[in-house]
Amino acid sequence: MAQKRFINPEGLVRPGVYTPVVVAQAGRTIYLSGQVPQNEKGELVGRGDLLAQAEQVYRNIALALTGAGATFNDVVKLNVYVVNYKPEYRDLLHQIRQSYVSKENPPASTLIGVQALAREGFLIEIEAIAVAD
């Protein structure tokens, strides 16, 4: 059975929207490729709209997790890449994220601003690691 410990060590900030340290033992480790704002037909969703693109990306992650027999509760790490990131985007991205990740035990997370992603029009890409039974 997969065991996960979400740790907020003393001396580190307690961010609330992510956990600084996650320890996972046993179980199946699932690595999701970066998910982008495309629907099942490969069409770009939300051209120029970061919020709409983020929603599509999280939906795609949920579908990928389901395909692997997992859920967002199994996610231990997210890497978020945003084109031309600005600090004011953080709250916007948190709106979408909080409807998907565990509020009690949010995964470890990294948010990175990038110049561009794989295709023109992509504003966000998110990769995930999950540990499930």
Measured CA to CA, the distance from residue 110 to residue 81 in angstroms comes to: 8
Question: What does the pLDDT read at residue 33?
Answer: 97
Q: What is the 3-state secondary structure (H, E, C) of the chain?
A: CCEEEEECCCCCCCCCCCCCEEEEECCEEEEEEEECCECCCCCECCCCCHHHHHHHHHHHHHHHHHHCCCCHHHEEEEEEEEECCCCCHHHHHHHHHCCCCCCCCCCEEEEEEECCCCCCCCCEEEEEEEEEC
pTM, two decimals, is 0.94
pLDDT tens readout for residues 61-120: 999 999 999 999 999 999 999 999 999 999 999 999 999 999 999 999 999 999 999 999
Q: How many residues does the chain have?
A: 133
107 burial (CB, 10 Å; 0-12 / 13-18 / 19+) is buried
Q: Which of 24, 122, 19, 132 is nearest to 70 (CA)?
A: 132
Q: Which of 45, 46, 53, 49 is nearest to 80 (CA)?
A: 53
Please tell me the CATH superfamily of domain 3-132, with its number: RutC-like (3.30.1330.40)
Arithmetic mean of pLDDT, 49-56: 98
Which pair of structure tokens corresponds to residue 94? 């948190």
